[in-house]
Amino acid sequence: MFSLASLLILGFVVLSSSQYQPTWKSIDSRPLPYWYDDSKVGIFIHWGVFSVPSFGSEWFWEQWQQRKLKPFVDFMDWNYKPNFTYAAFAPSFTCEFYDPEQWAEIFNASGARYVVLTSKHHEGYTLWPSKFSWNWNAVDVGPKRDLLGDLANAIRKKTNIHFGIYHSLFEWFHPLYLYDKNNDWKSQFFVKTKTMPELIELVNMYKPEVIWSDGDWEAPDTYWNSTGFLAWLYNESPVRNTVVVNDRWGSGIACHHGGFFTCQDKYNPGKLQNRKWEDAMTLDKNSWGYRRTANLKDYLSMEELISILVETVSCGGNILINVGPTHDGRIIPIFEERLRNLGKWLNVNGEAVYESRPWTYQNDTVTPNIWYTKGRKNTIVPTVYAFILNWPKNNQLYLGAPILKSTSKISVLGVKGILDFKKAATGGVLIYFPLLTPDILPCQWAWVLKMEGVVNYQ
């Protein structure tokens, strides 16, 4: 394996036999492992010391002590003794109800094909016993256990889900990071002694198949040594053949370089993109971490969740659905309910989602709230799927995009039988839906037409 000392001291990788060089041109040429595009649906988990105050958001520490926002200052003044420090929250990050096998079962029931856990957020607290985060990790203080390792083991033992990690490159208040920042990024003390050793430790210990980088935006990618790390990851690491990464590797890099593009939080362009992308979004509309003050209206409804999912997949993206567990290790019932209902919906309609590809049309040319995908590559019969977000009035639906012939077949996923249709005089097709009572509908929130023998399949 390539020398860690060389990577950190030299700041770049020089391997004469390497397939990938530490340049963006070379890094960007690596094909995305097929499993990621086929998966479509992932689960994001934001969990850390911020789950203890569980007030405002996972940015609690920064909003309280850096920006000194009044709601956060007042919250601390009213509820905690003077001179209370953020570090004093860590012993209360107890995780006594944390059952990683239960989490794995919930994620598996959701239909997700990959899971991404915050190994370390901007607060710097690591969910694994990092040698580079002494006394600020989940084994030294708080739950006294390897939270990350326990979940990785449960996921791999109980499911076929791919396991991944989120990692923040920067830390709000780390002295070495602040020193480098004040030095206009001319020094790399934080990178060489903290960020890069942590990342390499994570890869070698837990072999994640997703590395979701964040916290990059203040410093250039040359400060982070991003291309050096990615060249090592793609050439020498134990996950070099299967790992995928995002695009957050330095200021100005997001949406331009890396693996799949995230561009910004809750990125949902609504149209086909030239590069594989992901919509990282959260069930709590206002926070990624758990909030005790959340109201029912703050959570996405199933209709909203399904709408975002089908729009994302139709436009060639993946969806990464975030939940925020509690300080004691619970995934609250409303998150569990949303995830299990998603799994029920995917059990019916998954063939239109998993391994699908974008069609020529992402949404219909005439009727709104219709989104399309096409079937897997090498499908014998050209198949296009239409996601119907609203049941058609009078059980008749007009679609302007697909061209069908007399031998084409249309069905509703989860419903037996073939639907009648006719070509419309103005082009397109008029489809006659079956008369279904609510108790025999295949699912509640959206329905999928399977159209076999589509003439304009390409």
Phi-psi sector, 278: left (phi>0), alpha (psi -120 to 50), beta: beta
pLDDT of residue 379: 65
Phi/psi of residue 179, nearest 5 degrees: -65, -50
Contact at 8 Å (CB) between 107 and 155?
A: yes
pLDDT above 90 (res 457): no
- Which parts of 275-430 fold into alpha helices (H)? 302-314, 333-349
pLDDT of residue 18: 56
> How buried is residue 250: exposed, middle or buried, by Cβ count under 10 Å (0-12/13-18/19+)?
buried
Instruction: Give per-residue pLDDT as tens, 279-309.
Output: 999 999 999 999 999 999 999 999 999 999 9
Amino acid at site 188: Q
Instruction: Give per-residue pLDDT as tens, 171-212.
Output: 999 999 999 999 999 999 999 999 999 999 999 999 999 999
How far is it, in rounded angstroms, from Cα 139 to Cα 118? 16
Of 348, 293, 340, nearest in space to 321 by CA: 340
Instruction: Give per-residue pLDDT as tens, 358-400.
Output: 999 999 999 999 999 998 765 678 899 999 999 998 999 999 9
How far is it, in rounded angstroms, from Cα 259 to Cα 329? 31
Element counts in the chain: helices (H) and strands (E): 14, 14
How far is it, in rounded angstroms, from Cα 373 to Cα 424? 22
- Residue 51: half-sphere exposure toward Cβ, Cα within 13 Å: 29
pLDDT of residue 439: 85
How many other C-beta atoms lie within 10 A of the C-beta of residue 129?
A: 19
Residue 112 banded pLDDT, cuts 50, 70, 90: very high
How far is it, in rounded angstroms, from Cα 60 to Cα 86? 9
Average pLDDT over residues 251-265: 97
Residues 6+ apart with CB under 8 A from 268: 279, 281, 308, 311, 312, 317
Average pLDDT over residues 214-242: 98
